[in-house]
Amino acid sequence: MTRHFLRDDDITPAEQAAILDLAVELKADRWRDRPLEGPQTVAVIFDKSSTRTRVSFAVGIADLGGSPLIISTASSQLGGKETPSDTARVLERMVSAIVWRTYGQAGLEEMAAGTRVPVVNALSDDFHPCQLLADLLTIREHKGSLDGLTVTFLGDGASNMAQSYVLACVMAGMHVRVASPVEFSPEASVVADADAIAADTGGSVTLFTDPAEATAGADVVVTDTWVSMGKEEEKAHRVATFGAYRVDAELMALAAPDAVFLHCLPADRGYEVTADVIDGPQSIIWDEAENRLHAQKALLVWLLAQNARVDGEAA
Ligand code: CP
Ligand code: NVA
């Protein structure tokens, strides 16, 4: 079976740790691994806008000896005349992996079911698992380890970032707190999946409505835009609803004294976070952005190796 990375828990906790270890090695020795030498091509498809994901995949694929093919969905047949499954069956004849930023998770699942090359979720409405590999790498760099840390996500708990935080951090043995209005809680099924993982890793997930209670003593404080891509029409309601969850200096003061602040970017200063916090001494957002490159390279190296093994067994 081809391994894909459509959501954070498509890998095991041990595999997550191995990918993070590999990312550390590749960050120290950037051109060490060249599994895409040839060059082999990786298709990177965007239904939504992107700066970090586009650049980090393009540069990372080139670092690995490969050739990135960046495709804007609007200028392709995907999403209009052609299904994800048919697109996948064509691409697998020519490329070594498919990376896709899209809306619904179901499209990614259809794409993955239709192909024998690995499919990577570069952000969907439900999850942003590549971002979480980068975030965990960044937290590990600044805190030394992940196991047992408390991380608080504030704002849109039903967003791709919040749901990936819930899964990926519990996998790493962390205690995840999500502070959001009840209306914007993570999906119950995602929390149930995280609870099942937590039973093995010693992590935990707890939902809060009170931002102060959720932030008290936290080692890591995280937020994200209140208006994710595709939700623009809900902006007025969201801005009116999320105000109490803004990360400002007063809220940060409730976290541990050495707490760090993360934001996947792009940020709306003055909305989900004040400028003094995101641009202040506790913010590690630029390391976080850079780590997209190293984490995704490690993911690709690992996925390609897994699938080479599968192909070898099939031969
Ligand atoms: N964090 C992130 O995914 O950024 P982009 O939307 O710029 O890719
Ligand atoms: N939650 C945000 C993340 C952007 C990288 C969005 O989906 O727009």
pLDDT digit string, tens, across residues 151-167: 999 999 999 999 999 99
Confidence band, pLDDT 50/70/90 cuts, at residue 254: very high
Percent of the chain's residues with pLDDT above 70: 98
> In this structure, which residue's CA is closest to atom 1 in ligand 2?
228
Q: Is 229 in the pocket of ligand 2 (CB under 6 A)?
A: yes
Ligand 2 atom nearest residue 159's Cα: 1
Q: Pick the catalytic residue from 4, 7, 128, 238.
A: 128
Ligand 1 pocket, mutate which of 45, 227, 292 (most atoms under 8 A from CB): 292
Q: Is 131 annotated as a binding residue?
A: yes
Q: Is 292 annotated as a binding residue?
A: yes
Whole-number Å distance, alpha carbon 312 to ligand 1 midpoint, is: 35
Q: Pick the catalytic residue from 3, 9, 264, 296.
A: 264
Distance from C-alpha of 288 to C-alpha of 263, rounded to nearest angstrom: 8
pLDDT of the residue at 129: 99
Q: Is 54 annotated as a binding residue?
A: no
Tell me the average pLDDT across 264-273.
98
pLDDT one-digit tens code per residue, 79-98: 889 999 999 999 999 999 99
Cβ contacts of 177 within 8 Å, gap of 6 or more: 150, 151, 152, 153, 205, 206, 207, 208, 214, 215, 218
- Annotated catalytic residue 264: yes
pLDDT one-digit tens code per residue, 269-282: 999 999 999 999 99
**What crossing angle do the helices spanning 160-171 and 129-143 adopt, rounded to 10°?**
50
- Annotated catalytic residue 86: no
Ligand nearest to the CA of 164: 2
> In this structure, which residue's CA is closest to atom 7 in ligand 1?
51
Do strands 260-263 and 220-223 pair parallel, antiparallel, or not at all (unpaired)?
parallel
pLDDT of the residue at 245: 98
H-type alpha helices, the chain: 13-28, 52-63, 84-91, 105-113, 129-143, 160-171, 188-201, 211-215, 235-242, 249-252, 275-278, 285-314
pLDDT of the residue at 310: 66
- Annotated catalytic residue 101: yes
The tokens of 93 are what? Answer: 């004849």
Ligand 1 pocket, mutate which of 102, 123, 125, 287 (most atoms under 8 A from CB): 123
Whole-number Å distance, alpha carbon 44 to ligand 1 midpoint, is: 14
Average pLDDT, the chain: 97
Q: Is 161 in the pocket of ligand 2 (CB under 6 A)?
A: yes
Does residue 180 register a pLDDT over 90?
A: yes
| pTM of the entire predicted model | 0.97
Cβ contacts of 188 within 8 Å, gap of 6 or more: none
Does residue 314 register a pLDDT over 80?
A: no
pLDDT of the residue at 114: 85
Tell me the average pLDDT across 306-313.
75
Q: Is 136 annotated as a binding residue?
A: no
Tell me the average pLDDT across 42-57.
98
Q: Is 265 in the pocket of ligand 1 (CB under 6 A)?
A: yes
Distances (CA, A) of 87 to 54, 71, 101: 20, 12, 14
pLDDT of the residue at 311: 67
Distance from C-alpha of 229 to C-alpha of 242, rounded to nearest angstrom: 17
pLDDT of the residue at 121: 98
pLDDT one-digit tens code per residue, 17-37: 999 999 999 999 999 999 999
Does residue 255 register a pLDDT over 90?
A: yes
pLDDT of the residue at 80: 84
Does residue 52 register a pLDDT over 70?
A: yes
For residue 152, the 8-state DSSP code is: E
Distance from C-alpha of 121 to C-alpha of 194, rounded to nearest angstrom: 19
Chain position carrying tokens 């970090």: 52
- Annotated catalytic residue 224: yes
Confidence band, pLDDT 50/70/90 cuts, at residue 313: low
pLDDT one-digit tens code per residue, 94-125: 999 999 999 999 999 999 998 999 999 999 99
